[in-house]
Structure 1
């Protein structure tokens, strides 16, 4: 018997992470098999899906250690490639089948359209487009799938977010139910509450966008002319809340951690790894660097990340079941891996979601503890300087952000006091926005960043 894990989002991360776990599970002796049906919401997924279809849904995963040791593995966990069309025909058809027990997705932090209060932003252009009948977000896609599923069999299904979003299952579920309320779809909303679960999980593996030299290297090392290879670091982790409504793969057999509460793991990962990653990407870009390892190996930049974690994050997260000092050091070692060639462009993306999601909680908790978060303030200051470069058209690459309103962002830098306008943005800083002490802190941090940049720039 084969159960289907339908995954929405065919990007590199899914194929180097969740698909790897399911591939490894297929190697285990088990009567119950799980395979993946993969598709996407946007039409930019078409070339990849086509390439996968042409090579029997298989592809090569290259992993590399911090010491540069590379290994290659053919991933065989994809059973079906779901062709894209604007009406999401294949996704809806597959998602409505009884064999589909889990509908999972990787749509990036910005793909949930949540504000700093973790509510759905009804004014988002994509959400407004969707309310008019065109599917373009995870909410519209899942709504269409579940409506058809109810018609076909009405069987329960697990809805699993695999994105770097704190409490990702809870946040998706809350946003989805708010979306259904906007759609006035009370019937589906009630069905979802009774017939779905949305486990929280924490995913971790650094997976850069495939570089031009990956496919030639794969061919040289394996003899395979792979049109859809993917690469990532050797490190991998997946911590999952064991809350699946109609069965799940035995992922614990292949190293995933099934737990009752994901929170301590995800807090450490989001605040230490993800926020530091963004810090290094923004800072590196400002002084003319292209890759994460270059920034991590720059003493001033590494110190910014180290200070942020050590001075502010660790006190906020203590006590914790993890050794946070050790975790910090392992993370920075991973970032310094020159073989990964992870670009600042990839990691710097979606800052407008990462500031409130990864960084603002530490700012708030420091103030709540009576401590001024000087080390943490450096991160939004770096983002401010980074976006000022964007505003002036000086970034060395295209900035990608799913919720960027270009006119509104330009208005920030055209205002009489851009720093105060930035520090007064409730969408970024929640209850701290506009407070005099916070604005002063950000102003000093921006000044410090600009002084540092002037002396450090290549």
Structure 2
């Protein structure tokens, strides 16, 4: 195939999730004989150089291992990534690819924290990375896209789609609002108008549990396929992708490979974020507190599974009813997926980025419970677990290093070291929005933290 005639789906964010999810769907199209699209993959930061080098050596090809809850493994060589964009401080390869008229979609997976949004879902202009990019740097997606799209506008100005593939509610809209704010603050009026008029940002919902690749994947891949893969990736067998069908310059025929193209992604997005993402974090923080390593062992611990089940059943399902989805069935499927012992997903991976997950995944349910006159006892468990988790971090007693895109370590240590640390935590508007001024919520959180602190002292047996 002559790649120069293909449309290009440029992807920013070379992590495992993209390679197990979006790249898999485009690979399925190639398998069907539809070779009109391929992927060009790059990264904003220089933290994936080894992976990109390994993919370059393998001509973009790698093996995806999937595993069912019953332990059935499948191996598939993914071939949709045809161009690897090497990193340099100027992001020159990203800029060149983004300027190519064949590039019709720029998609990205930069994690929830990579959008730098406050609790009102607006860009936080005070964050050090955003400040740097407002001064011309390109540490964030916004700074990188400014360079790429400025060059594209100057060269030919062909329209394109900017596609958010992260776990962020209303992800297309919120990315777009953040980006337009960034361009206004940076004094880029011409680019601001061009982005408004020549790009779209559909909302999407993405789902496939994809742990960080562990050392035992490559030997299995070699044994099963004979391919000595230096960039394998693994994920669960389950996969889902729902996209609002609003592309500015055409799109792959994704409906032919099981993607749901819809007018509004909202019901799927709300169910995914509140039922799957929020309970995932609940399990990871709770499991960490009682000395567990793996998501599946924590999910099979009765007290922890009950926390997640009651949060969904008591507080989330009433908040999301009526829904076109069967929410009880979705809850049961999600908890079964988390129990999959073959995924080997770690509490460490899922525990990351809590400072953006609390306002994004948890606080809306807290607020809606109070609005309908219910006390969100089951939901309050999740920020209470996070507070106890943060106290362990503050005292240096977490069993692993904790990563959070929104972390200001000095400020957080000061808060957690204060005599009234829990009161300050409850009053943090960046986490709890309007509830930060609510005495009833503060009292509920205090009572919940006290109860869970006693529970977390004693590791519990795992039920099989």
Q: Secondary structure at the match of 1:455?
A: coil
Structure 2: how far apart are the matches of 1:37 and 1:56? Answer: 12
Deviations 1:250-306 (A, max 9, x none): 101000000000000000000000000000000000000001001000000000000
Aligned to 1:104: 107
The CA RMSD over aligned residues, in Å, is: 0.8
Measured after TM superposition, the shift of residue 134 of structure 1 is 1.6
Q: Alpha-carbon deviations, 1:390-421, whole Å to 9, x = none? A: 00000000000011011111111121211110
TM-score, structure 1 as length reference: 0.99
Distance (Å, rounded) in 2 between the aligned partners of 1:92 and 1:413: 42
Indicate if the aligned counterparts of 2:172 and 2:201 stay in contact, CA closer than 8 A: yes
* Residue of structure 2 in register with 1:3 after alignment: 7
Q: Secondary structure at the match of 2:47?
A: helix
Kept in 2: contact 1:97–1:153 (CA 8 A) = no
Runs of 4+ with deviation above 3 angstroms: 455-458
Shift in Å at residue 454 of structure 1? 2.0
Conserved 8 A contact 1:97-1:152: no
Q: Match for residue 20 of structure 1?
A: 24
Matched residue, 1:115: 118
SS of residue matched to 1:402:
coil
2:153 aligns with: 150
Counterpart of 2:360? 357
SS in 1 for 2:458: helix
- Counterpart-to-counterpart distance in 2, 1:354 and 1:415: 23
| Whole-angstrom distance in 1 between the partners of 2:31 and 2:70 | 28
- 1:344-423 aligned within 5 A: 344-423=347-426
Please tell me whether the aligned partners of residues 271 and 359 of structure 1 are also in contact (alpha carbons under 8 angstroms). yes
Alignment of 1:424-443 (within 5 A): 424-443=427-446
Report deviation, 1:29: 3.4
8 Å Cα contact 2:290/2:458 also seen in 1 = no
C-alpha displacement of 1:455: 3.2
Match of 2:211 in 1: 208
Query: SS at 1:361's partner residue?
Result: helix
Question: 1:456 deviation in Å?
Answer: 3.3
What is the distance in 2 between the residues matched to 1:311 and 1:418? 28
Please state whether the residue corresponding to 1:217 is helix, strand or coil.
Answer: helix
| Cα distance in 2 between the residues matched to 1:168 and 1:154 | 24
Q: Contact 1:286/1:457 (CA < 8 Å) preserved in 2?
A: no
Q: Which residue of 2 aligns with 1:189?
A: 192
Q: Superposition pairs for residues 157-196 of structure 1, below 5 Å?
A: 157-196=160-199
Aligned-partner Cα distance in 2 for 1:396–1:202: 32
- Say if 2:165 is the partner of 1:139: no
Residue 346 of structure 2 aligns with which residue?
343
Q: What are the ranges of 5 or more consecutive residues in structure 1 without an aligned counterpart?
A: none
CA contact (8 A) 1:420 1:434 kept: no
Equivalent residue number for residue 289 of structure 1: 292
CA distance in 2, matches of 1:273, 1:176: 27
Residues 160, 249 of structure 2: 8 Å contact kept: yes
Quote the offset at 1:457 in angstroms.
5.5
Please tell me whether residue 266 in structure 1 is matched to residue 269 in structure 2: yes
Deviation at 1:309, TM superposition (A): 0.1
Residue 315 in structure 1 maps to residue 318 in structure 2: yes
Whole-angstrom CA distance in 2 between matches of 1:149 and 1:103: 12
Residues 62 and 77, structure 2, Cα contact 8 Å, conserved in 1: yes
Distance 1:271 1:25 in 2: 31
Tell me which residue corresponds to 1:53: 56
**1:213-292 → structure 2 map (5 Å cutoff):** 213-292=216-295
Q: Point out the more displaced range, 59-68 or 145-154.
A: 145-154
Q: Distance in 2 between matches of 1:346 and 1:357?
A: 18
Q: CA deviation at 1:434?
A: 3.0
